[in-house]
A and B are shown apart, each in its own frame.
Chain A
Amino acid sequence: MANDHNHDSSHGHHYILPDGVAFKAFAALLVLTVITFALSFVHLGSLNYVVGMLVACVKATIVVGVFMNLRKDDPSNTVIFASGFVFLAIFVVLTSTDLLFRGNVYTNNKPIFKAIAGPSKFKKPWEPTPELVAHGKDVFSQQCVSCHGAAGEGNGPAAAALNPHPRNFTQDAGWKNGRKPSQIFKTLKEGIAGGAMASFATLPMDDRWALSHYVASIGPNILKDETADLAKIGVDPTKDSAGSDAAPSVPVEWAMKKLVQEAGAGSGKQVVPGASDSLMHYGDRLDAATFSKQKP
């Protein structure tokens, strides 16, 4: 009867791995390990990765197929085990669509994939050209219009709520840094303190030069940069390229201080980093010493 509790000889046919097969698998694993090690000294560029991982996969197949008996086992066990790797692949692929396609801010200005953050298209971008101005107009319509308005008159939809008012680019009055392209470039890079004009240093350099030329072009008259003006922002006009920009991130230390200050602003309370009743608790486990050693 099926429910016999006593000495039950219905073991089924258990496959016992023959010692010879086990030894051959072991030997193969040793050889493959030596091959991996040897190949790591041969410089094949990114092919090293492919080869290394491929050999590892072969070794893994031997361990799983022979040592763990999958090759002789119920195929559903193979399906079960393999499914883990399928979902791991989904995890890494979809996460990569974010982390590896972000562009400048998170990669210290180095492009991960050239297609996304390509090399500079313009030589001597500080010299105005029709293409730069046209490109600048495009970027303007995406980045600037909401405050400065479609015609750059400082009357965009968000302008009503801003004090000070966004700059009217069609007039001469009020430019804090000046109207020359290099001066507009400086404004874009640093922002303007005390107002809503943020730093746009996260835009690629080419975009910022293009914007500078476009904004200069809609002024009452177009001003030109002299060599001295360019020198002020670190551009050598005898070269073709302006080099790379500094990393567009703020030091974390500075950001923490600002946040703690703002949390206390207006509440009449003195917010001190480390104080346990601070509203945001950012201060609690931080201390200047910890962060002075770290780069952002």
Chain B
Amino acid sequence: MGNHGQVTPGTYHHGHHWKNAHEEFEGAKQGMWVFLVTEVLMVGALFVGYIIFRAMYPEAFHEAHKLLNPKLGLLNTFVLITSSWTMVLGVSSIQRGQVSRCLAYLMTTVGFGFVFLIVKYFEYSHKIHEGILPGGLYTYKELAMDKVPLFFSLYFMMTGVHAFHVILGMGLITWVMLRVKRGEVSKQFFTPVELVGFYWHFVDLVWIFLFPLLYLLG
């Protein structure tokens, strides 16, 4: 996925083992899809754990999910979907050579990421304050049903891993923004923007399933 090339704007040198820049781009893109498959399996395994325990303990999970705030979850869903849209606009901007537009959209995307994390911060801090914590740390007396702490173990793992990927994504987008600013990424070579965009869309994709599963259906 790297840029083997020189920095002179307007020229791009693809890796010498590729036939041409197009092949290199297609290869990088396919490589990104292969990487996303690994993410599907990794995050998916957590969903598998959730599905199994939910089938085993439906009442406990139902009661537990009521302690989540669906309105905040909905807000975060809107935030991520919008950020995916701005990401896509960032990609098409740089494909057309519109550098400042691209930077504006990418910055907005990172901004939305911040909003997501802030909402998550409020959710988590409220839970920590109430003692609604995973597994062995759970101390919330108002709902002391068997297996409820298990729900929260899964909740914190799944949303935690997700939030971690949001942070990583924000870092990647920022890195790409710097490269765009330096001219290393441009209309001639926009692979990094597109592939980082894929990463960001994947993060959105996971939330599209997390939100209804945990917050709404329980």
In the complex, A touching B, CB below 8 Å? yes
How big is the B interface, by class?
35 or more
Decide yes or no whether A29 CB sits under 8 A from chain B: yes
A85 and B40 contact, CB distance less than 8 A: yes
Interface residues of A in 10-40 (CB under 8 A from B): 10-12, 14, 16-19, 22-23, 25-26, 29-30, 33, 36-37, 40
A161 located at the interface, meaning its Cβ lies under 8 Å from any Cβ of chain B in the complex: no
Give the residues in chain A near B87, CB-CB below 8 Å.
Answer: 67
Cross-chain contact B205 with A80 (CB below 8 angstroms): no
Query: A108-128: which residues lie under 8 A (CB-CB) from chain B?
Result: 108, 112
Within 8 Å CB of B11, what residues of A? Answer: 6-7
A59 at interface by CB-CB < 8 Å: yes
Contact B19 A26 (CB under 8 A): no
Interface check B108, CB cutoff 8 A: no
B20 at the binding interface (Cβ < 8 Å):
yes
| In contact, B33 and A80 (Cβ under 8 angstroms) | yes
* A151 close to B (CB within 8 Å): no
* Chain A residues within an 8 Å CB radius of B188: 7, 11
Ordered nearest first, which 8 A-B pairs have the shortest CB separation?
A84-B40, A12-B22, A40-B216, A26-B85, A84-B37, A88-B44, A10-B20, A7-B11
Which of chain B's residues have a CB closer than 8 A to the CB of A163?
Answer: none
Closest to B87 in A: A67
Asked whether B77 is an interface residue with its Cβ less than 8 Å from the other chain, the reply is: yes
A49 at the interface (CB under 8 A from B): yes
CB-CB contacts below 8 Å: A67-111 with B: 67-68, 73-74, 76-77, 80-81, 83-85, 87-88, 91-92, 95-96, 99-100, 106-108
Chain A's nearest CB lies how many Å from the CB of B12? Answer: 7
Distance in angstroms between the alpha carbons of A49 and B62 in the assembled complex: 12
Count residues on chain A whose CB falls below 8 Å from chain B CBs.
61
Q: Contact between A60 and B205 (Cβ–Cβ < 8 Å)?
A: yes
Contacts of B197 in A (CB 8 A): 67-68
Chain B residues 1-42 with CB under 8 Å of chain A are 10-14, 16, 19-22, 25-26, 29-30, 33-34, 36-38, 40-41
Main secondary structure of the interface of B (DSSP, over half): helix
Chain A nearest Cβ from B182, distance in angstroms: 19
Cα of A16 to Cα of B102 in the assembled complex, Å: 14
**Which positions 216-244 of chain A face chain B at CB distance < 8 Å?**
none
Residues on B with beta carbons closer than 8 Å to the beta carbon of A112: 55-56
B56/A33 in contact, CB under 8 A: no
Q: Say if the beta carbon of A150 comes within 8 Å of chain B.
A: no
- Cβ contact within 8 Å between B20 and A77: no
Indicate whether B184 reaches chain A with its CB closer than 8 angstroms: no
Which residues of A lie under 8 Å from residue B21 when comparing CB positions? 8, 10-11
Contacting residue for A100 out of B26, B55, B198, B217, CB 8 A:
B55
Chain B residues whose CB sits within 8 angstroms of the CB of A288 once the complex forms:
none
Task: Report if A52 contacts B (CB, 8 A).
Answer: yes
- B interface residue numbers (CB < 8 A to A): 10-14, 16, 19-22, 25-26, 29-30, 33-34, 36-38, 40-41, 44-45, 47-48, 51-52, 55-56, 70, 74, 77-78, 81-82, 84-85, 87-89, 91-92, 95-96, 136, 146, 188, 197-198, 201, 204-205, 208-209, 211-213, 216-217
Closest chain A CB from B31 CB (angstroms): 10
Query: Does chain B have a CB within 8 A of A2?
Result: yes
Residues of A within 8 A of B16 (CB): 3, 5
Shortest CB-to-CB span from A59 to chain B, Å, is 5
A30-B78, A40-B217 given as contacts; is B34 within 8 A of A80 (CB)? yes
- Bound together, the chains give a CA A25 to CA B88 distance in angstroms of 11
A150 to B163, CA, bound (A): 62
Closest to A295 in B: B146
Contacts of A292 in B (CB 8 A): none
B217 (CB) vs chain A CBs: closest residue: A52
Does A290 touch B at the CB level, under 8 Å? Answer: yes
A259 an interface residue at 8 Å Cβ cutoff?
A: no
- Could you tell me if B55 and A19 are in contact, using CB atoms closer than 8 angstroms? no
Residues of B contacting A100 in the complex (Cβ-Cβ under 8 angstroms): 52, 55-56
Chain A's nearest CB lies how many Å from the CB of B26? 7
Give the docked Cα–Cα distance between A231 and B135 (Å): 40
A158 to B76 alpha-carbon distance, docked (Å)? 64
Cα distance A25–B77 in the bound complex, in angstroms: 15
Choice from A7, A19, A37, A87 contacting B41 with Cβ under 8 Å? A87
Closest A residue by C-beta to B24: A8
Query: Shortest Cβ distance from B93 into chain A, in angstroms?
Result: 10
Contacts of A267 in B (CB 8 A): none
Known: A74-B30, A81-B37, A84-B44. A55 touches B212 (CB 8 A): yes
